[in-house]
Amino acid sequence: GNSVTQMEGPVTLSEEAFLTINCTYTATGYPSLFWYVQYPGEGLQLLLKATKADDKGSNKGFEATYRKETTSFHLEKGSVQVSDSAVYFCALSAGGSNYKLTFGKGTLLTVNP
């Protein structure tokens, strides 16, 4: 079956530090890949997505590249802010008739001033 593995948290960084959150996946076919973000007390919001190999998703300074050869979709940001403190979820959609998402367990990021 499909699965997503993302790095264990929590991750604590100082403001302006570089961020990487690793995500690898197992899926048949050609899934779409997502990063969702959950701010404290809120629901999940789509951060970025990529639908095919070598695509780069980007939003709010975050980037992730769909690497089929390594089955990875690592999230990066060059300079994090306190406002980036949240839980980040990697997910995949294997398509088909219902577009279900398979989520990783989430990584808590805390950015200190």
Partner 1 sequence: NAGVTQTPKFRVLKTGQSMTLLCAQDMNHEYMYWYRQDPGMGLRLIHYSVGEGTTAKGEVPDGYNVSRLKKQNFLLGLESAAPSQTSVYFCASSYEVGDADTDTQYFGPGTRLTVL
List residues binding partner 1 (CB under 8 A). Answer: 32, 34, 36, 42-46, 49, 89, 93, 95, 97-101, 103-106
For partner 1, which is the closer residue by CB, 18 or 100? 100
For partner 1, which is the closer residue by CB, 7 or 101? 101
DSSP strand pairing (101-103 vs 86-93): antiparallel
The distance of closest approach from Cβ of residue 16 to partner 1 in the complex, given in angstroms and rounded to an integer, is 29
The distance of closest approach from Cβ of residue 98 to partner 1 in the complex, given in angstroms and rounded to an integer, is 5
